[in-house]
Structure 1
């Protein structure tokens, strides 16, 4: 998608979490191997079946269609239920949320510096993730950036999940910004398709699993990571809030 001079300015930026604020592979691949080992009780054959169910291999990592990448915790739970007959869906979901909240998110860039820069420009910042809201808040707090976001919305916050545009529109409404003046930043087609459906602008990053060729048709720009946002915004002479 070409950037043109008639695009609206930006008053707010809505970030995806995993693969955008945090490097997906560095955050979740080691975590997944450990969780599957604990769920299986050390049974390597069961751990392998559980991995297959969620598109994960301890040697190859996540497959591009893994529900862990852009799906919700409920979707991941549903994939695991048939292989864990001694656990209820509620038990599995609670365990996954607890394990996820305790994960060590790996920032995709210097997040405090980046967010301070964007905040100083008068931009309203938020997070919308298909993860649980409580897990998202735990991860943001773990790296000291929770107070930078006006709203944090998860798939369980009552607005649905991406690629549905409703949670994105809930953010725009919550911060009082027209959707056309919100930039959605994400690493998956779910993020960018949701942005399009919501009437928002979209930028993609390569700190997830998806490739440049997969993301480019859906975004104005594909950046190596979100650290490139200020430079891109300046290069496009994008008007900021209040300008």
Structure 2
């Protein structure tokens, strides 16, 4: 029996996993820096560099602040790099921008159909993101997969932050599953390390975010081009699971 055949629940990261990172978040990163720099173009460039993004090409380094940080961490990093705000004020501004950005996001695939397929096979499904919970729910509603989710966790949902294991353990508590029955799917090492620290049965990397096969190979059991490759990986019927 393969490890995939023992999995009953699948927990997904959002940005770079369900959403194409480059198409969805590069424009948002430029706007983040513009807001944090209060319109100062030179400072904006400096903030992007501090966040791990090349201001000219838009390339974001794997596992950098902008690739893997939550809202508070990005705000802290930008304030540390010279943004003329308090961390609290900048966090509030960023959370508002992220929530609105759900309307501009580009999905990796037809997410409603993708989640419907896995749900019909009997899998417990959840999203755990470093974004705020309101943004996750707005994204799920926009792309029509909110009705298939059993669990949603953002950095502000009370389960801790990545790469701590709390979001995975919260998923287990919500579904009645054990960590070894869960697969964690993400595009950067924060996601994979969270899964490993929680004891998930599988950690699965995808290449629709900022990571590469080289950067993700050590912490992943599988490295897929995108989430659509999960469908043939998992059995057509999930193993027996607790009653809802």
Report if TM-score (shorter chain) is over 0.5: yes
1:121–1:241 CA contact under 8 A, matched in 2? no
Residues 114/179 of structure 1: CA separation in 2 closer, same or farther (3 Å cut): same
Structure 1 alignment gaps of length 5 or more = none
**CA distance in 1 between partners of 2:66 and 2:116 (Å):** 30
How far did 1:66 drift?
Answer: 2.3
What SS does structure 1 have at the residue aligned with 2:169? helix
1:132–1:156 CA contact under 8 A, matched in 2? yes
**CA distance in 2 between partners of 1:160 and 1:72 (Å):** 11
Structure 2 alignment gaps of length 5 or more = none
TM-score normalised per structure 1: 0.90
TM-score normalised per structure 2: 0.89
Aligned to 2:190: 190
How far did 1:43 drift?
Answer: 2.4
Aligned to 1:14: 11
How far did 1:91 drift?
Answer: 1.4
Aligned to 1:130: 130
Q: Does 1:222 align with 2:220?
A: no
2:65–2:73 CA contact under 8 A, matched in 1? yes
* Correspondent of 2:96 among 89, 95, 98: 98
What SS does structure 1 have at the residue aligned with 2:114? helix
How far did 1:74 drift?
Answer: 0.8
Within 5 A, what are the aligned runs for 1:40-79?
A: 40-61=37-58, 62-79=60-77
How far did 1:42 drift?
Answer: 3.4
How far did 1:130 drift?
Answer: 1.4
Aligned to 2:154: 154
Aligned to 2:214: 213
2:34–2:41 CA contact under 8 A, matched in 1? yes
How far did 1:190 drift?
Answer: 1.4
- Give RMSD over aligned pairs: 1.9
**CA distance in 2 between partners of 1:35 and 1:188 (Å):** 21
**CA distance in 2 between partners of 1:124 and 1:138 (Å):** 20
**CA distance in 1 between partners of 2:124 and 2:196 (Å):** 19
For residues 149-195 of structure 1, give each alpha carbon's deviation from its aligned partner in whole angstroms, at most 9, with x where no partner exists: 11101111111111111221111111111111111111111111111
1:10–1:239 CA contact under 8 A, matched in 2? no
**CA distance in 1 between partners of 2:196 and 2:32 (Å):** 35
Residues 119/212 of structure 1: CA separation in 2 closer, same or farther (3 Å cut): same
1:9–1:239 CA contact under 8 A, matched in 2? no
**CA distance in 1 between partners of 2:182 and 2:155 (Å):** 19
**CA distance in 1 between partners of 2:3 and 2:149 (Å):** 28
Residues 76/169 of structure 1: CA separation in 2 closer, same or farther (3 Å cut): same
How far did 1:6 drift?
Answer: 6.5
What SS does structure 2 have at the residue aligned with 1:108? coil
